[in-house]
Chains A and B, each alone.
Chain A
Amino acid sequence: MSAQLAAVGYQHDWWEVLGAPFMRNALVGGTIVALVAGLIGYLVIVRASSFAAHALGHIGFPGATGAVLLGMPVTLGLLVFCVLGGLAIGVLGRRAGDREIATGTVLAFAMGLGILFASLSSRSTGVVTSVLFGNLLAISTGQLWAFAGFALAIVVVLGIVFRPLLFASLDAEVAAARAVPVRALGVVFMLLLALTVTMAVQVVGTLLLFALVVTPAATAVMWTPRPSRAVAAAVALSIGAVWAGLVLAAMFNLPVSFVVVSLAFLAWLATWVGARRTRRVGDPHLRRAHDAAHAG
């Protein structure tokens, strides 16, 4: 027991560890994923579809373990399952999130299927752990190229659809009257989310996905109601959590996912407590109250 605990602690060689090639991949890959997670996360919050993000992470699990079983890349397995899951949720409509029992049952089945595939495969345990909890340090150069391609696609598509998608998310009925293709945009959003989840699962894993895709954006929206600033803040928070996560993990020999999730959680918690306190004072204008608190 004590021998295991001793492994966690200050590492004198952390600077050299950060310079290792696997660290470079982790840093580049983590940055790409965090950038996209912050962008998409903002829309997840505006559309109130965090449950869809959570669901896609779970749906990806059998995709990842199934790919390992068939000797195919994990990214491919995740991609196929997440895209199909995203299409299903997108076509069923936003109400799919409300059908909690049906969705939960399907998710449990997906996880069960995932563990079956893992048990059939010879190298199961390592794969299961890294899909459930992420393994940023194992990102290969091939995966980096895939991530870069996904990210480019997401940023380009988002640049084109952002405003009509925001309109459709906030005001579906008015947007429809203004000839915005509300349903098609819903499907496009789910596809973008599926791509994001495919990448994010490999960084923080199925179970901790929320921390990278939802939590930073939720924190950013509490900071500011200005869409452009909230998007920028969400991206900055995600990237900051990943960078700090890698450095602290190297310094203290901690799991990267743990540090990333903890930092996202702490930022959210501090913001949430602060927002609640200013709310109780009775000033609904959070920013002004926040500034006043800091000035006085």
Chain B
Amino acid sequence: MPAEGEGAPVVRLRDAAVVRDGRTVWDDSSFELPAGSVVAVIGPNGSGKTTLLHVLLGLLPARGTVEVLGSRPTRGNRRIGYVPQNYTATTGYAVRARDLVALGLSGDRWGVRPLRAAEHDRVSRALRDVAAAPLADRRVSDLSGGQQQRVAIAQALVDDPPLLLLDEPLANLDMRGQRETVDVLAALNRERGVTMLVVAHDLNPLLSVLTGAIYLLDGHAHYAGVDAVVDAELLSHLYGTQVKVVRTAQGDLFTRTA
């Protein structure tokens, strides 16, 4: 396994391309993400944001060079935590938050061996790390959208992966749920040094934690640092509508001009 020192990129693409059902989703894409980054993945609907996550997870093949944590993407990589889109819609009434998180540790294990004490501790710790310890014994369906999102993050996190992929974690959350989720992500990045790719439609709630963004534009994936991304001209091009960047005391904000 290649060395993975301080400077080694967590994700590296070189002349990468994805073809799906005979259609090129994006191609000619090259970038490197440094360890510890928090990167938004932005772009119009259908531009291949989820596709990028699936490529990194090894669920979809890509052409060119793709490296994740120093090796080619393969399914079943325990060093990547994944929170899919609409996570909350598929989880149910029949299990507790704790059970769902435990599946992140043992869900790919065959046979009947119950969890060990140390594994129970890791489940509790993951729930604590996302500020969801008091929710451990609640039914998942009884939790609010924001709470369910945090439980999903705990499940992705329970195996201590250095890389977290989150697909629209802020969609369908109210402002409080968004803020709580972003706070959890910020703390994970700060305290555990977890590198994150966050698919998002709205950058505003994430701006305080972002170090950069991958933007899918004109059929290619580009990477830029956060200062370059929060640029009215680029954002206007990206969203196909006039966007204005407003500098405020609390940080940058961008709005759609009427």
Contact = CB atoms under 8 A, between A and B. Distances in A.
Interface of A: 42, 45-46, 48, 159-164, 166-167, 170-180, 221, 225-227, 230, 284-286
B89 to A, nearest CB: 11
Contacts of A225: 93-96, 99, 139
B107 A166 contact: yes
B91 A170 contact: yes
B111 A160 contact: yes
A175 B94 contact: no
A46 B107 CA distance: 15
Contacts of A42: 94
Contacts of B93: 221, 225
B130 to A, nearest CB: 16
Contacts of A166: 103, 107
Given A170-B90, A177-B57, A177-B75, A163 B84 contact: no
Given A170-B100, A174-B156, A163 B106 contact: yes
Interface of B: 57-59, 74-76, 78, 80, 82-84, 87, 90-96, 99-100, 103-104, 106-112, 137-139, 142, 155-156
A227 B99 contact: yes
Given A162-B112, A167-B103, A227-B95, 17 more contacts: A45-B94, A167-B108, A170-B95, A171-B100, A175-B108, A177-B59, A177-B80, A177-B82, A177-B84, A178-B76, A178-B78, A179-B75, A180-B107, A225-B139, A226-B96, A284-B139, A285-B138
Given A159-B112, A170-B90, A175-B107, A226 B99 contact: yes
A164 B138 contact: no
Nearest to B93: A221
Contacts of A179: 74-76, 108
A8 to B, nearest CB: 39
B108 A178 contact: yes
Contacts of A286: 139
A46 B75 CA distance: 25
* A interface SS class: helix
Contacts of A48: 92
Given A174-B155, A177-B82, A178-B76, A163 B107 contact: yes
A121 B104 CA distance: 54
A46 B99 CA distance: 13
8 contacts: A167-B108, A170-B95, A171-B155, A174-B156, A175-B107, A177-B58, A177-B59, A177-B75
Contacts of B104: 174
A33 B51 CA distance: 45
Contacts of B138: 284-285
Given A167-B103, A170-B100, A177-B59, A161 B110 contact: yes
A45 B78 CA distance: 29
A174 B84 contact: yes
A162 B95 CA distance: 14
Given A225-B139, A284-B139, A285-B142, A178 B94 contact: no
The 8 closest A-B pairs by CB, nearest first: A179-B76, A167-B107, A284-B142, A173-B84, A179-B75, A177-B57, A167-B103, A178-B108
Given A177-B82, A180-B108, A225-B139, A170 B92 contact: yes
A225 B94 CA distance: 5
A103 to B, nearest CB: 21
A212 to B, nearest CB: 19
A180 B107 CA distance: 8
Contacts of A177: 57-59, 75-76, 80, 82, 84
